[in-house]
Amino acid sequence: MAELFNAAEYLTGARVAAGDGDRIAVRHPRGLLTYSQLTDEVRRVAGGLRAVGVRPEQRVLLVMTDDVELFTAILAAMWIGAVAVPSSTMLTGRELSVLVRDSRATALVGSPEFADNIAAAVAGAPDLTRVVLTGENALGSDGLVDGARSTTWDEMIAEGSPVEIPYRTWDESHALWLYTSGTTGKPKGAMHRHADIRSVAETYGTQVLGIDRDDVCLSVAKLFFAYGIGNSMFFPLAVGASVVLEPSRPNPDLYSRLAAEHSATLFFAVPSFWGPLLAAEVDPARFASVRRGASAGEALPARMFHGVRDRYGFEVLDGIGSTEALHIFISNVPGKVVPGSSGFPVPGYEAQLRRSDGTVIDGAGESGMLYISGDSICTGYWCRTDVNRLVFHGEWMRTGDQYIRGEDGAYTCLGRADDVLKVGGLWVSPSEVEVRLLEHPALAEAVVVGVPDDDGLDKPIAFVVPRPGQAPDADELIAFCRAGLAAFKRPRAVVTVEELPKTATGKIQRFRLREQAAL
């Protein structure tokens, strides 16, 4: 039986009612917001959204940098019972137009730096009635952009009056849609309920991270990414802690300075940040306040876990999550990290490994497809019955990741099921070869993909990014792999590149490397 519950109220007004009104909730580039100020701001933005015609259950697409406006717009949409749809800021106008049409958003709120893409994306979108920009109105001078009225953020807020009481959503009502396309394919909107937000805060947030009200969170992953919105909104606000918001793109220098400036205690990143951070040899003093790190997106090589612990003095808890599950469902735990593994099922989730015939693997040491169950799994993809039938099976979700469980119960990622290669009739896990390559002192990053040879048979090819000042020799790297792995797993060629193609969320676009290698 559904119960009344509004996640925006749970994260803001309920904190004020619990006595946290004067505590700092948000640290942003222009100052600070207490929980009372944040709640008032959410009420004002909620009034603006209502005034521009947003109604319960309608979608509000948000194309914005991480700042107070995005933060409050997400919460305000949920406050009035609408559905927040934060979008990647790295999409082209054409890619964005797919989201505008697929979500049937009635309003789009954007940061001015994306005005050109937004103008291209909203052309001919029949359901969109308002476009709101947070700066100057850089869109249609007549106040119209392809039929939708365009407004500035300030005008939108001035049009409405604060909505004091949140809409009577159920825990089952949709609160948040997050689009995912994985590393390739048509974007799919994973639909999350208000209950899912409380669920991830009360499982991974409190029981694994151990977040408490004195924590200051800093996340390299942005709010439009499931990993980022948990780190920067759900976990801190659920306990009265604070978050640092930064609109710029992350780099080790900027984020280590932010960590020092705000005395961050929880630092969230992805392997493609930890690697360059270690290579840049950033001053450890900048991380003096950090008590714990978290990593997701891709498996964290053991070398990086040890590097961060030895240089900066904190443990990085690697885990695996998904947009569909809203956050991390298998994670290492403090004091019991198994480096190189994703750890153990988070309380509240169950994991199963299944063989290709669907039978469940009970023992350790046999690899299989990872399935998970847990309360935060989305209700499905919006209007994608075909994929829903493949991915969601009763309470279980097929993750698409190939995993193995050790005797100690820790789960280790072998790569995406689709990435595993058959070379000369034998299975080769690209991540196993990548882990070996990363043990080489000259390398900062390494990715292995299967590329068909003249006979159409897959051969492993490595793409490597050297550490600054290093120029590794391809033959030496292949010999290095031979020395540490079964010979059939060695890359047959090594390509040195300056950087690897990545998605907005830092995942390697393996398909691009396969295309590049095939040329």
Give the interface segment with ligand 3SK, choosing from 69-77, 85-93, 315-323, 492-500 (CB under 6 A): 315-323
Tell me which residue of 246, 187, 185 sits closest to 383, measured CA to CA.
Answer: 187
Q: Least separation, in Å, of the C-beta of 321 and ligand 3SK?
A: 3
In the bound state with ligand 3SK, the residue whose beta carbon lies nearer, of 81 and 321, is 321
CA distance 187 to 322: 14
Token readout for 55 is: 């109604």
Give residues with Cβ within 8 angstroms of 209, minimum separation 6. Answer: 235, 266, 292, 294, 317
Count of residues touching ligand 3SK (by CB under 6 A):
10
Q: Least separation, in Å, of the C-beta of 169 and ligand 3SK?
A: 23
Out of 79, 179, 227, 267, the residue judged to bind ligand 3SK by CB under 6 A: 227
Residue numbers 323-342 binding ligand 3SK by CB under 6 A: 323, 327-328
CA distance 53 to 60: 11
Q: Least separation, in Å, of the C-beta of 139 and ligand 3SK?
A: 32
In the bound state with ligand 3SK, the residue whose beta carbon lies nearer, of 90 and 423, is 90
In the bound state with ligand 3SK, the residue whose beta carbon lies nearer, of 13 and 228, is 228
In the bound state with ligand 3SK, the residue whose beta carbon lies nearer, of 320 and 444, is 320
CA distance 296 to 165: 36
Closest residue to ligand 3SK in the complex (CB): 321
Does 226 bind ligand 3SK (CB under 6 A)? Our answer is: yes
Beta strand extents in 12-111 (DSSP E only): 24-28, 31-34, 59-63, 83-86, 107-110
Contact by Cβ (8 Å): 369, 396 = no
Tell me which residue of 218, 293, 221 sits closest to 262, measured CA to CA.
Answer: 218
Q: Least separation, in Å, of the C-beta of 296 and ligand 3SK?
A: 3
Q: Least separation, in Å, of the C-beta of 381 and ligand 3SK?
A: 14
CA distance 45 to 77: 8
Give the interface segment with ligand 3SK, choosing from 11-19, 27-35, 248-256, 314-322 (CB under 6 A): 314-322
Q: Least separation, in Å, of the C-beta of 179 and ligand 3SK?
A: 12
Q: Least separation, in Å, of the C-beta of 75 and ligand 3SK?
A: 19
Q: Least separation, in Å, of the C-beta of 86 and ligand 3SK?
A: 13
CA distance 100 to 219: 27
Tell me which residue of 225, 233, 245 sits closest to 62, measured CA to CA.
Answer: 225
Give residues with Cβ within 8 angstroms of 500, minimum separation 6. Answer: 272, 445, 447, 463, 465, 508, 513
Token readout for 262 is: 């705000």
Tell me which residue of 478, 515, 434 sits closest to 272, measured CA to CA.
Answer: 434
CA distance 195 to 401: 26
In the bound state with ligand 3SK, the residue whose beta carbon lies nearer, of 35 and 411, is 411
In the bound state with ligand 3SK, the residue whose beta carbon lies nearer, of 16 and 397, is 397
Does 192 bind ligand 3SK (CB under 6 A)? Our answer is: no
Does 193 bind ligand 3SK (CB under 6 A)? Our answer is: no
Out of 250, 321, 343, 345, the residue judged to bind ligand 3SK by CB under 6 A: 321
In the bound state with ligand 3SK, the residue whose beta carbon lies nearer, of 20 and 445, is 445
Using DSSP's 3-state secondary structure scheme, residue 238 falls into: helix
CA distance 157 to 154: 5
Q: Least separation, in Å, of the C-beta of 372 and ligand 3SK?
A: 12
Contact by Cβ (8 Å): 59, 85 = yes
Q: Least separation, in Å, of the C-beta of 297 and ligand 3SK?
A: 4
Q: Least separation, in Å, of the C-beta of 112 and ligand 3SK?
A: 28
In the bound state with ligand 3SK, the residue whose beta carbon lies nearer, of 296 and 513, is 296
In the bound state with ligand 3SK, the residue whose beta carbon lies nearer, of 328 and 448, is 328
Residue numbers 12-71 binding ligand 3SK by CB under 6 A: none
Residue numbers 342-361 binding ligand 3SK by CB under 6 A: none
The 3-state secondary structure of 364-433, one letter per residue:
CCCEEEEEEEECCCCCCECCCHHHHHHHEECCEEEEEEEEEECCCCCEEEEEEHHHCEEECCEEECHHHH
Give me the residue label for tokens 């790190």.
293
Q: How many CA atoms lie within 13 A of 10 on its CB side?
A: 23
Tell me which residue of 455, 450, 417 sits closest to 433, measured CA to CA.
Answer: 450
CA distance 471 to 68: 43
Residue numbers 247-306 binding ligand 3SK by CB under 6 A: 296-297
Using DSSP's 3-state secondary structure scheme, residue 168 falls into: coil
Give the interface segment with ligand 3SK, choosing from 89-97, 127-135, 322-330, 354-362 (CB under 6 A): 322-330
Give the interface segment with ligand 3SK, choosing from 30-38, 317-325, 356-364, 486-494 (CB under 6 A): 317-325
In the bound state with ligand 3SK, the residue whose beta carbon lies nearer, of 114 and 227, is 227
Give the CA distances from residue 15 to residues 20, 67, 129, 237, 519, in Å, rounded to whole numbers and listed in that order: 5, 21, 34, 8, 56
In the bound state with ligand 3SK, the residue whose beta carbon lies nearer, of 35 and 227, is 227
Q: Least separation, in Å, of the C-beta of 240 and ligand 3SK?
A: 23
Q: Least separation, in Å, of the C-beta of 374 and ligand 3SK?
A: 13
Would you tell me which residues interact with ligand 3SK (CB under 6 A)? Answer: 226-227, 296-297, 320-323, 327-328
